[in-house]
Amino acid sequence: MSLDATSPQVTLPEGAPEEVVTHSLLREVDLRAFGFSGTLALITLDNGMDHNRPNTLGPKTLIELNERISQAEESSASAIAITGKPFIFAAGADLSALSFLADRDQALAIGKLGHDVLRRLHEIKKPTFALINGLALGGGLEIGLHCDYRTISSTAFTALPEVFLGLVPGWGGATILPQLIGPEKAVQVIMVNALNNNTMLKAKEAEALGIVDALFEPADFLEKSVKFIADVLNGKRTIERIDHTRDSLSWDRAILTAEAAMKKKYGKAKIASPQKAMELIAGARTSSRDQGFAAEDIALTDLVMADPLRASLYAFNLIQKKRKKVDGAPKAALARKVSKVGVVGAGLMASQLALIILRNLKVPVVITDLDQERVDKGIAYINSEITKLVEKRRITPESAMRLSGLITGSTDKSIYAGCDFVIEAIFEELSLKQSLFRELEGIVSPECILATNTSSLSVTKMSENLQHPERVIGFHFFNPVAVMPLLEIARTSATDDATTATAVAIGKELKKTMVIVKDSPAFVVNRLLTRFMGEITDAIDEGTAPEIADSAMDSLGLPMSSLQLLGLVGPGVALHVAETLHGELGERYKISPTMQAFVSHGVRTFYTKDEDGKQIVNPAALSLIHKGDSPSTVEQVRARALNALAEEARMMLDEGVVATPSEIDLCMILGCGWPLHLGGILPYLDREGVSESVTGARFHPAGVASLPQ
């Protein structure tokens, strides 16, 4: 089937960025040297740019690919193969124009065009092969799925990430993959991996799942793949396909797995993209390709014309942009060289900090604590984590030995002499931190940066009465340090550009996404989280049943409920931050009598687990709840929580805590897992009308993270 007058005509919507065309380069390869008397029509996808810009698939790209498929079909070649430029096969559809679409027919045309072009790879009479030489994501992998056979380079990664972004594999993947490898494996690839922060498959995993037919090393990948093609053509190699439609139990199990994955990710919230993906996978058992592709077209169009996709794209693009560029950062040339780092403290947080600095900066790291036992425990933790990296083959034994040789500890703070950067992670008590910094000033050089990992205390007050307050900065990580991508860098009015530039340079080495914030109570994430959680606990204190208050935000699909988060943070930490903000910002941060009771009685969680691992209410916590007489409904609790978030965010922008609403969105996405499908906290409040109702104005212009208006 070729494109003709009845095929969809796709033009980019007004205002959308120009498509970077990935060209299809066609050449013939003589197969006689590989044992087959004939030729191969080899199409190479190449956008003509360096490896920082992978091949992508837009309308012009698909139309050119269709033309090359036609030329290859009409040629004398015995088979057709598609490969990519070095290290890149194709990174999927070009999504840059999707957020500009305002016409449903136009959205539908994009899905149909992809199907019309790619399905030809299976329907033409010549055998077709995908030679996956590098990264193959989304539509890139779907090119391979439409081919009759697939090879892959051992260094390649592949995935169908669409559900992660609020879409479905809409160019054949949701229909073909379950039929090719079975529904349970397809659910793993399409849903479980995507919902698990877009986990990609290594080449060996793709081979084990049956997605590809052969794996070759990159040095001679193309040569071995061409030999594979010749062997298939001359009958020396055959690939058996299994009919997965007959095993009804596997399809039932697949649906249960899909439902469990959605519940784990979104709780009770109903999110469209994974739901539609599950329906498409289930339908693949009985659907013909025509029926399956038609269902994909409708599902893709429905999702493209809905706000959650726009929100996901806004959030995804925001993360990518801010990962590369830190707003407000001084010139990088001002950064000082860091050749030795000190970490004050040897507890879990301090040890995590020492480990990530050690692994990424690969410079000597020194730690101290109050006694040798604590120091030894911290060093032991770091070395055990290094050993685990070797066991997982993420580093070599030789690298592990070098890293272990760079970490030392002591109870004597003179060990910090010669450090260029010292970060403290001691108990959250202002007077202790002030005393520490005064002591350190007598040990380190005037240029050595003094950083604090405080989550709520004033960095400015820590630097009071120091000889060099200009070298003090907030360097706030989130727990667990190795996993959480956000780093809040807090400048005081005295912090100089050299200190800030050095902090940013270190953050980049640590592979963190950074936001520079004004020194203010709890910075961004903890200030908003404390206000938000405070409304939930206030409602409980007033007499709202805990199960009512804690379920108020279920419809948003947050990673955990407020009381679950309390168990992760700990009532002691939560109460300390609330008390700090109450003192700094006033009565809107109330001190919960229930939280005070939890702390005084040593209750650490509201929920616990029974013998079967099922979550249940902790009886000790339930008995300590302050019993008010003014209960609220679920709707009332949700409204007050959202109103509080809007009010606090507006205050933070007015105070200059950050410069733009997008920085608040980024902090909440990366610092506390605010879901991508909501697009960050402020676009959600805009769409729900909360922003204007509470503050009198939207945070973002109309159309940001929502349908164009």
pLDDT, tens digit, for every residue of 145-201?
A: 999 999 999 999 999 999 999 999 999 999 999 999 999 999 999 999 999 989 999
pTM: 0.91
Q: Report helix angle 525-541 to 661-672, nearest 10.
A: 70
**CATH 3.90.226.10 residue spans of the chain:** 23-305
User: Span 618-622, mean pLDDT?
Assistant: 94
User: Span 351-355, mean pLDDT?
Assistant: 98
**CATH 1.10.1040.50 residue spans of the chain:** 525-656
User: Span 12-37, mean pLDDT?
Assistant: 90
Evaluate whether the domain defined by 332-518 bears CATH number 3.40.50.720.
yes
Q: Is the pLDDT of residue 13 over 70?
A: no
Kindly state the DSSP code that residue 450 receives in the 8-state scheme: E
Residue 707's pLDDT band, with cuts at 50, 70 and 90, is confident
**Does residue 563 contact residue 546 with C-beta atoms inside 8 Å?**
yes
The alpha carbon of residue 332 and the mean position of all alpha carbons in its chain are separated, in whole angstroms, by 26
Active site residues: 142, 162
The per-type count for the chain, helices as H runs and strands as E runs, is 30, 20
pLDDT, tens digit, for every residue of 547-599?
A: 999 999 999 999 899 999 999 889 999 999 999 999 999 999 999 999 999 99
pLDDT, tens digit, for every residue of 405-438?
A: 999 999 999 999 999 999 999 999 999 999 999 9
Q: How far, in Å, are 463, 523, 646, 684, 707 from residue 692 at the CA level?
A: 39, 24, 9, 12, 18
Which residue's structure tokens are 């900090």? 353
Number of Cβ within a 10 Å radius of residue 554: 15
4-18, 257-271, 474-488, 492-506: lowest mean pLDDT where? 4-18
Q: Domain 525-656 belongs to what topology?
A: N-(1-d-carboxylethyl)-l-norvaline Dehydrogenase; domain 2 (1.10.1040)
pLDDT for the residue 578: 95
Instruction: State the Cα–Cα distance between residues 183 and 186, nearest whole angstrom.
Output: 5
Residue 482's pLDDT band, with cuts at 50, 70 and 90, is very high
User: Span 45-73, mean pLDDT?
Assistant: 93
pLDDT for the residue 100: 85
Number of Cβ within a 10 Å radius of residue 48: 12
Kindly state the DSSP code that residue 106 receives in the 8-state scheme: H
pLDDT for the residue 5: 44
Instruction: State the Cα–Cα distance between residues 32 and 224, nearest whole angstrom.
Output: 14
**CATH 3.40.50.720 residue spans of the chain:** 332-518
Instruction: State the Cα–Cα distance between residues 168 and 159, nearest whole angstrom.
Output: 12
pLDDT, tens digit, for every residue of 671-702?
A: 998 999 999 999 999 999 999 999 999 999 98
234 phi, psi to nearest 5 deg: -95, 10
pLDDT, tens digit, for every residue of 278-303?
A: 999 999 999 999 999 999 999 999 99
The 3-state secondary structure of 668-696, one letter per residue: HHHHHCCCHHHCCHHHHHHHCCHHHHHHC
Residue 16's pLDDT band, with cuts at 50, 70 and 90, is confident
Kindly state the DSSP code that residue 79 receives in the 8-state scheme: E
Q: Is the pLDDT of residue 1 over 50?
A: no
Q: What is the CATH number of domain 23-305?
A: 3.90.226.10
